[in-house]
Amino acid sequence: MQELDQIFNKLWQQYTNESPEALKIYNLFKARGEEDIVNDHVAFRTFDDPRVNVDKLGAFFEALGYHACGEYEFKVKKLFAKHYEHKSDPTMPKVFISQLKTKEFSPFLQEHAQACVDKITEAKLASPDLLYSGIHWELDYEVYQKLLAESEYAAWMYVFGFRANHFTVFINYLKTFNSVEEVNQFLKDNQLTLNVAGGEIKGTPVELLEQSSTMANKVPVKFKQGTFDVLNSYYEFARRYPDQSGNLYQGFIAASADKIFESTNVGLR
Ligand code: NI
């Protein structure tokens, strides 16, 4: 478990360094005195290139005790995703990995996605360090803007590369909150902006999963033309309900995840 803990620690350090608002929210929960934050899931984005696709990133987790569970299609955003669960420890975060189906986009996007992956060394591709290795290429603001016009997801991947896209607070394990509504109110009381695409709460108790998220914040990013502000990451909150067998449902709802993806949408901010 040590190697796995190390990977999640590195991912958390990187996530909170690059998304200071997530650390602020984490500390707001901790400041209540009774909360130990358990992560419901950690989400990754990638391209469908076999060198870095869902199966490739998922294999790093499979080697450390995880197994692949649900599969998800996002037709409009042109994404495919899988989630992975730890085989023996239910308090280990689930891992949600999505990939952009690049072949359904322009030759420009396909060429740039491939050129990005071409820059990653063989050694890095073979190591779980890849998961938090960031970008391996020089950033061009014109390329970013062209990618953004086609796919928010592609533009995010181009700028931030390999890292956790977001962590997710597992509301069931919180001691001082009993609902997503209470968590959302707490966030709003602390001047945080929620993603309202599809409503503040995505999913219902009947679907066995309710989720909410903050909107991504802008951070300065260095491009070859200079420094520009780019939307980076959000923090997510999930409450799960027991299924007919009495176990907490562990899957994901594609329609809800579809709206959560929009937490990094430029137009919604
Ligand atoms: Ni998520």
Long-range pairs for 77-81 at CB < 8 Å and ≥24 separation?
A: 77/151, 77/153, 77/258, 77/261, 78/104, 78/105, 78/151, 79/153, 79/261, 80/48, 80/54, 81/54, 81/252, 81/257
> Is residue 212 predicted with pLDDT exceeding 60?
yes
How far apart CA 210 and CA 253 sit, in angstroms, is: 9
Q: What is the pLDDT of residues 6-51, one digit of tens each?
A: 999 999 999 999 888 999 999 999 999 999 999 999 999 999 999 9
Give SS3 for 238. Answer: strand
Whole-number Å distance, alpha carbon 245 to ligand 1 midpoint, is 24
> Is residue 266 predicted with pLDDT exceeding 80?
no
pTM over 0.85: yes
Whole-number Å distance, alpha carbon 40 to ligand 1 midpoint, is 9
Whole-number Å distance, alpha carbon 44 to ligand 1 midpoint, is 9
Whole-number Å distance, alpha carbon 235 to ligand 1 midpoint, is 8
Whole-number Å distance, alpha carbon 224 to ligand 1 midpoint, is 31
Strand partners, 98: 45, 81
Q: What pLDDT, on the 0 to 100 scale, is given for residue 255?
A: 75
How far apart CA 102 and CA 112 sit, in angstroms, is: 10
> Is residue 91 predicted with pLDDT exceeding 90?
no
Whole-number Å distance, alpha carbon 244 to ligand 1 midpoint, is 24
Whole-number Å distance, alpha carbon 117 to ligand 1 midpoint, is 24
How far apart CA 42 and CA 33 sit, in angstroms, is: 24
Q: What is the pLDDT of residues 140-186, one digit of tens each?
A: 999 999 999 999 999 999 999 999 999 999 999 999 999 999 999 99
> Is residue 206 predicted with pLDDT exceeding 80?
yes
Closest by alpha carbon to 98, among 223, 258, 226, 256? 258
Whole-number Å distance, alpha carbon 258 to ligand 1 midpoint, is 10
